[in-house]
Every structure is written in C-alpha cells, then in structure tokens.
C-alpha cells in the first residue's frame, strides 16, 4: 500500500495492494478522465510532484518514465510510501 496526496484537492488517500490509483480517486469523488483502464491510452495521466512512480503502463516513453514526472493512474503504482500528484 502507499499514500497518494492530491496537492490541489488537499486530500490524502490510501491505495491498498490490488487497487489502482484511478479506482481510489473515483471512489473518493475525485474527477479523473479514463478510457482503456489498461495503461495504453494515456487518458488518465497525472503529473507527479513528489514520489517515485512504479510505471506499469505501455503509454509513456522511456524518457518520460525516467523523468518520473508523470504517471498513468489506471495501472501504475508507487515505489515510495507517498506519491504527491498535481490533482
Ligand atoms: Fe487508458 Fe489509463 S485509462 S491509460
């Protein structure tokens, strides 16, 4: 499990093993567009302010992965305990 802090919404949510960031956002009434929910289309991309994304998608380029400034919220997770997103 890890924690997702939403910088613009002043909300902090827990993402347990087996749940996605996108699911947790939607369960908490946070708007995030989504489409494929398989890490392929990029619709659910969020900007990372802090934390170490564990990329599981097939959308971001190698450079974007390495930069760690964006995350595909329907599939990717976090290697650090806390992820801060610009949402
Ligand atoms: Fe398509 Fe997340 S909804 S990549």
Closest atom of ligand 1 relative to the 39 alpha carbon: 4
* Sign of the dihedral defined by the CA atoms of residues 49, 55, 60, 63, in that order: positive
In the reported structure, the alpha carbon of residue 58 is separated from the centroid of ligand 1 by a whole-number distance in angstroms of 10
Closest atom of ligand 1 relative to the 36 alpha carbon: 1
Q: pTM for the whole thing?
A: 0.96
pLDDT digits (tens, 9 = 90+) for 16-75: 999 999 999 999 999 999 999 999 999 999 999 999 999 999 999 999 999 999 999 999
Distance CA 78, CA 60 (A): 15
**Residues paired with residue 4 on neighbouring β-strands, in sequence order:** 13, 83
Distance CA 78, CA 14 (A): 12
In the reported structure, the alpha carbon of residue 42 is separated from the centroid of ligand 1 by a whole-number distance in angstroms of 5
Residue closest to 71 by CA, chosen among 24, 9, 12, 21: 21
Kindly state if the Cβ of 42 falls inside 6 Å of ligand 1. Answer: yes
């Amino acid at each position: 499990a890890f924690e997702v802090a939403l910088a613009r919404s002043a909300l902090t949510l827990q993402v347990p093993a087996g749940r996605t960031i996108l699911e947790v956002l939607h369960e908490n009434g946070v708007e995030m567009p989504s489409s494929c929910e398989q890490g392929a289309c990029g619709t659910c991309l969020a900007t990372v302010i802090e934390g170490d994304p564990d990329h599981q998608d097939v959308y971001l380029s190698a450079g974007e992965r390495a930069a760690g400034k964006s995350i595909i919220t329907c599939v990717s997770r976090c290697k650090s305990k806390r992820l801060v997103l610009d949402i």
